[in-house]
Structure 1
Amino acid sequence: MLQQTPVARVIGPWTAWVQRWPVPSAMAAEPAGEVLRAWGKLGYPRRALRLHECAKVLAAQHGDRVPDDVDTLLALPGIGDYTARAVACFAYGQAVPVVDTNVRRVIARAVHGREPGNPSKADLADAEALLPRDGDGRPAPEAPEFSAALMELGALVCTARNPRCGECPLAGDCLWLARGRPAHDGPPRRTQKYEGTDRQARGRLLDVLRGSSSPVERAALDVAWTRDTAQRARALDSLLTDGLVDVTDDGLFCLAGEG
């Protein structure tokens, strides 16, 4: 849920989610459409489908337990580099680097003396190089705590806008601050807009289906997005292709698995 979504938006849905489905097998027993309905407006609903698929694998192959090693986690549906390492680090205390937007910002500023650019494979190596080490050069037991602290520092102090450098424990060693806090001068950072996009159109169509207890006619979807009929058709086609929406035998539309 936290992929590309702020914590404040996740807390409510997550709390309801784990109360309803405390173990993977409980979710795996539900149809995909019910999982999509519970996902609500968190966005990027394909994440909900992947989570449902992941729950099935965990129930069938891992004894209803989330694995504790990165490689096994990466083999699960919907689990990428960040999530695999975050679970291994924060849930199981493993000394693996974890990189999110906040960590990238802190490292770019403090270590490289610049604003962060677009994500790259070097980000993970940068984070791993900063992990505290023991006398043999291996990551120390406090490495997970360090990773959490780095993430919190970026979220609360070294923020994208109006960083609180006067309160930062790294201020004395921050190359970006020493250079006078230079502005970003590399390639334009990729941004994602939402208003008027296919993503927004898809969300409006899904809203109709989430709010209905039975399949709906095409007309109910047509009125949900009227600004561009070609875009609406494209959005619906993509929902069908992604497996988020099904068509019943009599031509009605419903959430996945509810036909």
Structure 2
Amino acid sequence: MVAGERAGVDARLAEARLAEAGLVDARLVAPVLAWYPGAARDLPWRASDRTPWGVLVSEVMLQQTPVARVEPVWRAWLDRWPTPAALAEAPTADVLRAWGTLGYPRRALRLAACARAVVEHHGGALPTTEAELRALPGIGAYTAAAVVAFAHGRRAVVLDTNVRRVLARTLGGQGLPPAHLTRGEQSRADAVWPADDARAAAWSQAVMELGALVCTARAPRCAACPVASSCAWRAAGSPPPTTAPRTQAWTGTDRQARGRIMAVLRDAVGPVGEGALTAAWPHDAEQRARALAGLLADGLVARAGDGYGLPE
């Protein structure tokens, strides 16, 4: 192929991509943006007085945790530690007690480490770029993109489970997205995201809300969906997913044992002996020992004389 022919092919491909992007915008982006203002939940981390730090805290807390459980803890946390500098000075035991029963308490330790890094490397002000945010302890691609979009109103491709599911169904005709994010999903999302900062940030919030409230994993409310008429999954007859929705087992697991041990230590006013831990998880001594060892290794529990306590 000579240079002139190659240039012609490239131009036609570019025109086709633009046409496809325009079609997706008209059939997906625009209707969802129009739907969002009347459907959006009134959440404190979306308020006009939100701070970038408050947004970051909310995103860390919301990982694998329902909004209803997060909201009261988020409010109390921000009242107590409204800035990274405030959290950076907090004793670890106080941080873990404030985290309470949100689960996955290592997230609390990561937030505290993040706060210390912000103070040490950024003068206490949360950085504003995805690259700088991702360099902070415990901040991954999703959280960095969410802060850029939701706190700063700039274009960032925010891909959580809800968004991936909406795009898999509406554009890919799949009941559920793959278990792990693929390059194809990332590329498709980048092509869908509006180029304009304000519109892209609004789309990030709107498509996430659609997945959380309407296009849910197990019982999608297609009759209430603003894009049901152009959904590829609906057009294909809503075929069952090739991958099952992920479920988090709890009863009888090491996670439950860890939670019981942490609950005892959070409520204690001093070191706790083996007897109290046995009472907290009497079912399986080997499992109890394994859970305690994991908590010690993760820095969530510390030895205190002949007993155990939260790290100071």
TM range, smaller chain: over 0.9
Match of 1:8 among 68, 92, 98: 68
- Which has the higher mean CA deviation after the structures are superposed, 114-123 or 177-186? 114-123
CA drift of 1:102 comes to 0.9
The corresponding residue for 2:221 is 164
Distance (whole Å) between structure 2 residues aligned to residue 199 and residue 151 of structure 1: 28
2:88 touches 2:113 (CA, 8 Å); kept in 1?
yes
Task: Report % sequence identity.
Answer: 52
CA drift of 1:14 comes to 0.3
Distance (whole Å) between structure 2 residues aligned to residue 235 and residue 34 of structure 1: 21
Match of 2:130 among 47, 70, 74: 70
Distance (whole Å) between structure 1 residues aligned to residue 220 and residue 151 of structure 2: 29
What is the TM-score normalised by the length of structure 1? 0.92
Give yes or no for the alignment of 1:236 onto 2:297. no
Instruction: From the superposition, tell whether residues 256 and 125 of structure 1 become closer, same or farther in structure 2 (CA, over 3 Å).
Output: farther
Higher percent of residues as helix: 2
The corresponding residue for 1:126 is 188
1:25 touches 1:55 (CA, 8 Å); kept in 2?
yes
CA drift of 1:49 comes to 0.5
CA drift of 1:239 comes to 0.3
Give yes or no for the alignment of 1:211 onto 2:272. no
The DSSP-based 3-state class of the residue aligned with 1:141 is: helix
The DSSP-based 3-state class of the residue aligned with 1:223 is: helix
Amino acid at match of 2:191: A
Structure 1, unpaired ranges of 5+: 134-138
- Which has the higher mean CA deviation after the structures are superposed, 202-211 or 72-81? 72-81
The DSSP-based 3-state class of the residue aligned with 2:309 is: strand
Distance (whole Å) between structure 1 residues aligned to residue 158 and residue 110 of structure 2: 21
Distance (whole Å) between structure 2 residues aligned to residue 125 and residue 33 of structure 1: 42
Distance (whole Å) between structure 2 residues aligned to residue 108 and residue 199 of structure 1: 31
Distance (whole Å) between structure 2 residues aligned to residue 74 and residue 63 of structure 1: 17
Amino acid at match of 1:194: W
2:215 touches 2:225 (CA, 8 Å); kept in 1?
yes
Give yes or no for the alignment of 1:32 onto 2:92. yes
Rg (Cα) greater in structure: 2
Q: How does 1:75-114 map to 2 (within 5 A)?
A: 75-114=135-174
Give yes or no for the alignment of 1:147 onto 2:204. yes
Distance (whole Å) between structure 1 residues aligned to residue 307 and residue 91 of structure 2: 18
2:257 touches 2:288 (CA, 8 Å); kept in 1?
yes
Distance (whole Å) between structure 2 residues aligned to residue 58 and residue 110 of structure 1: 39
CA drift of 1:217 comes to 1.3
The DSSP-based 3-state class of the residue aligned with 1:44 is: coil
Structure 2, unpaired ranges of 5+: 1-60
CA drift of 1:183 comes to 0.6
**RMSD across aligned positions (CA):** 1.4
2:173 touches 2:231 (CA, 8 Å); kept in 1?
yes
Amino acid at match of 2:192: L
* Runs of 4+ residues deviating >6 angstroms: none
Question: Which digits, 9 at most, give the CA deviation of each residue in 1:191-230, with x for residues without a partner?
Answer: 3211111010000000000001211112111110011100
1:98 touches 1:124 (CA, 8 Å); kept in 2?
no
2:157 touches 2:204 (CA, 8 Å); kept in 1?
yes
Amino acid at match of 1:160: A
Match of 2:280 among 220, 224, 235: 224
Distance (whole Å) between structure 1 residues aligned to residue 126 and residue 85 of structure 2: 11
Distance (whole Å) between structure 1 residues aligned to residue 217 and residue 106 of structure 2: 28
1:204 touches 1:225 (CA, 8 Å); kept in 2?
yes
